[in-house]
Structure 1
Amino acid sequence: MTPWTDQADHRSWLTRERLRLLEFGRDVVAPAGGAAWLDEHGVPALDRGVQTWITARTVHTFGLGAMLGVPGSARIARGALAGLTGLLRDGEHGGWLAHVDADGTPVDDSKQCYQHAFVVLAASTATAAGLSGGQELLDEATAVFLERFWDEDAGMCVDAWDRTFTELDGYRGVNGNMHAVEAMLAAGDVTGDRAWYARARRIARRVAENAAAHEWRIPEHYDAAWTPELDLNRERPDDPFKPFGATVGHGFEWSRLFLHIDASLGTDELLPAARNLFDRAQHDGWSVDGAEGFVYTTDWEGAPVVRDRMHWVAAEAAAAAATLHTRTGEEHYAQAYATWWDNIADTLVDRENGSWHHQLDPANSPVATVWPGKPDLYHAVQSTLLPVAPLSPGLAVAARDGLIGARTAEAGR
């Protein structure tokens, strides 16, 4: 049977879903620039202020929409971009504040790798889309990232500074490094500087080494010497950014990123690790507790810890299955892809209020204990693009150059 990614009707379905998602975010721009947190109906929750990660993801998502010809997307991307060049930007000390009130008063003035990686991604997409100020933002963001977050000796990124870039937190994390890899690949695509790809590969090699030492479950948390802290947040296992244990969705996300790194550099080095990460995440995460869906986290033996279903995990699982099928042509990846999109359509897609439910309980009913509202279109929108995009270049340059929809195994090589 022809894989879904090659079926005209499935590709049309992905396009319709992408358009539906982008329509949900039409009011996301905050009054003073940047992107608001959206509630379950797509209404801006202005009392939550403006956060750099949501703002940067909005620039990226709607920048892609603009390059794909979706009317209104450029306006939204420009409005979000104004937050990165305005109220979120720290003109005194450099970099970007994590979170501000609607009037620009800092709520969280720390300088985080996670947030800054998304600024690099947003700036890369804005530059590809030809948005005014995009190139200047990219120049600034890449310079700040290399100076403040990239640790050349470790071949990894540090995690967080204080506002003045004086005190460096002792915590080291893989989540920020994961999104740094995504940003590095995008920056390399847009600038033509292949050193970004090489940095991404250095990060990937360490992540793969540490995952292999733990049966392909990825240690997320480390001390300043990069020693794993496997018990961190055991008492707060559902932390939205630093959960205890192994995060199933990150196994899938890293698997996909490994393939993008290989494709960018023209190698096969990371393919075995990508397979192993995918297999472990599928084995530990998919329908392991009596109902369909992916558990959020497991312990180091693979037993579920947080059993709620997060929308981004399913999105990354489907994307990883698609990229592995493109890379290998193996049927079991296509079968997993079809199964998981069925699950997304049946449980996560909110046809009444728009977008996707961000969190389901173990019985697949919507809950909001970790993710109230629907602040994030990024994972869902990308899951509709990655199955029909090349493995390299990344989404921004692929959208700019008309490569979306022409995905083949050769296109990513």
Structure 2
Amino acid sequence: MSGPVVGRRAVLLEQLLAFAARSRVERGFGHLRRDGSVDADGGLELWVNARMTYVFSVASLLGVPGVADLARHGVEALVGPFEDRALGGWWSALDTDGRPVEDTKSCYDHAFVVLAAATAHGARVPGAEGLLGRALAVHEERFWDEPRGLCVDQWSGDWSRAEDYRGANSCMHTVEAYLVAADATGDRVWCDRALRIAEHLVDAVAREHRWRVVEHFDADWRPLPEHHRDRPADPFRPYGATPGHGLEWARLLTHLHAAHEVAGDPPPAWLLEAAAGLFDRAAADADEGRGGFPYTTDWAGEAVVDQRFHWVHCEAVLAAHALERATGEARYADLAGRWWDFTVEHFVEPDGSWLHELGPDLAPADLTWPGKPDAYHAFNALLLPSLPLAPSAAVALR
């Protein structure tokens, strides 16, 4: 492997990619069990396929053998069985025969289609340019709410009914996707829209809630702090605050700040202030006694779902690295090192694959995330600390 990743991280990156490559199936990428076998009865999920396409597209620029073909395979799946060519958009899930199994189209999934398409286009994957054009058009027409500067969360499959729920999670990943789309297309409108989303959900709402990210809202964007109290371990819409999302937002704000600097625009002063506020709140809600971060807390910072997820710890490391580079403060580098050591010790298996969930006792668990379906967060944790904060990965590597 060539490129900026060296030492132990380079070895772990190659091992992770070799494990993730096992997910390839006829129509895309399947759900991997803990042992690396594909769950043959599980069908295909759009978010997994889009994330894998992103991973393999970036990895193709690192000179890793075989991953360029996997990136092409991912794009072919996204322009093939997942895409609704009749009505537009992408299906959230397919059965084992390649037929849609959910009559919904979600902003969360479509944000990852934009991310995958923009990254694949940056990596010069065949078919990615057309995919990106359609993905941005659908996102703009169906999910972007221009008057509010936020996103609609979910539609029925025929686009006739929008769900009343609005969510910060899908908006957060839209920020990520729009920043990459701005780099891929050269169109600053996507960066401007990413800033508008962050202004409302972070600079306004999270600031009002002591830098805890409010995840759930009604159709008029009124907060729903008790949403899913009866389903606290929901993998996408859990009750309460999610420290991992506070950390992920902190990282994205540093990318947004850097994107303004690269473009020669003065970054809004609040971006790094808010990133530090989110980071410090999440760090304060960490479990210093046993190590790591709980999945969710209540609004006073007490753990609700006390599981440890790999993605949360990846985002903790990435946020610390990003803030150290953006501010020069040594405390972030110290935390990045400490959290990285914890993450490698407890989540990385001998074959280089990553456990997705641990219990409070730090033993492997599958309360919320069975198997190892997703290489995206681990890949980013291994690669992004070696890249600039802007532009995004594929452009920076190319």
Shared fold, TM over 0.5: yes
Query: Counterpart amino acid of 2:340?
Result: W
Match of 1:124 in 2: 118
Deviations 1:264-313 (A, max 9, x none): 112153010000000000001242xx311111110001111111000000
Q: What is the rounded CA distance, in whole Å, between the counterparts of 1:189 and 1:215 in structure 2?
A: 32
Query: Counterpart amino acid of 1:362?
Result: P
Residue 75 of structure 1: how far off its partner (Å): 1.1
Q: What is the rounded CA distance, in whole Å, between the counterparts of 1:136 and 1:43 in structure 2?
A: 32
Residue segments in structure 1 that go unaligned for 5+ positions in a row = 1-7, 401-413
Cα RMSD over matched residues?
1.2
Match of 1:329 in 2: 328
Query: Counterpart amino acid of 1:206?
Result: H
Equivalence map 1:152-301=2 (5 Å): 152-208=146-202, 209-266=204-261, 267-269=267-269, 270-287=271-288, 290-301=289-300
Asked whether the 8 Å contact 1:99–1:109 carries over to 2, the reply is: no
Deviations 1:314-335 (A, max 9, x none): 0000000000001111111000
1:111 partner SS = strand
Q: What is the rounded CA distance, in whole Å, between the counterparts of 1:268 and 1:166 in structure 2?
A: 38
Asked whether the 8 Å contact 1:18–1:384 carries over to 2, the reply is: yes
Match of 2:264 in 1: none
Match of 1:113 in 2: 107
Residue 25 of structure 1: how far off its partner (Å): 1.2
Q: What is the rounded CA distance, in whole Å, between the counterparts of 2:154 and 2:344 in structure 1?
A: 37
Query: Counterpart amino acid of 1:62?
Result: F
Match of 1:4 in 2: none
Residue segments in structure 2 that go unaligned for 5+ positions in a row = 262-266
Please say if 1:40 is aligned against 2:34. yes
Residue 11 of structure 1: how far off its partner (Å): 4.1
Select the residue among 62, 79, 86 that pairs with 2:80. Answer: 86
Select the residue among 88, 92, 101 that pairs with 2:95. Answer: 101
Query: Counterpart amino acid of 1:334?
Result: A
1:356 partner SS = coil
Match of 2:8 in 1: 13
Match of 2:137 in 1: 143
Q: What is the rounded CA distance, in whole Å, between the counterparts of 2:208 and 2:370 in structure 1?
A: 35
Residue 41 of structure 1: how far off its partner (Å): 1.7
Q: What is the rounded CA distance, in whole Å, between the counterparts of 1:189 and 1:313 in structure 2?
A: 26
Q: What is the rounded CA distance, in whole Å, between the counterparts of 2:88 and 2:268 in structure 1?
A: 38
Asked whether the 8 Å contact 1:96–1:111 carries over to 2, the reply is: yes
Select the residue among 336, 361, 376 that pairs with 2:359. Answer: 361
Select the residue among 373, 376, 382 that pairs with 1:375. Answer: 373
Q: What is the rounded CA distance, in whole Å, between the counterparts of 2:254 and 2:310 in structure 1?
A: 22
Runs of 4+ in 1 over 3 A off after TM superposition: none
TM-score between both structures, scaled by the size of structure 2: 0.96
Select the residue among 60, 65, 73 that pairs with 1:66. Answer: 60
Deviations 1:170-224 (A, max 9, x none): 0000000010000000000010001100000000111111001111111000000
Match of 1:407 in 2: none
TM-score between both structures, scaled by the size of structure 1: 0.92
Deviations 1:110-151 (A, max 9, x none): 110000000000001111111110000000000000000000
Q: What is the rounded CA distance, in whole Å, between the counterparts of 2:328 and 2:103 in structure 1?
A: 46
Match of 1:406 in 2: none
1:332 partner SS = helix
Identity percentage over the alignment? 46
Residue 12 of structure 1: how far off its partner (Å): 1.7
Q: What is the rounded CA distance, in whole Å, between the counterparts of 1:107 and 1:48 in structure 2?
A: 11
Q: What is the rounded CA distance, in whole Å, between the counterparts of 1:309 and 1:375 in structure 2?
A: 16
Match of 1:317 in 2: 316
Equivalence map 1:375-394=2 (5 Å): 375-394=373-392
1:365 partner SS = coil
Higher mean C-alpha displacement, 12-21 vs 209-218: 12-21
Residue 79 of structure 1: how far off its partner (Å): 1.4
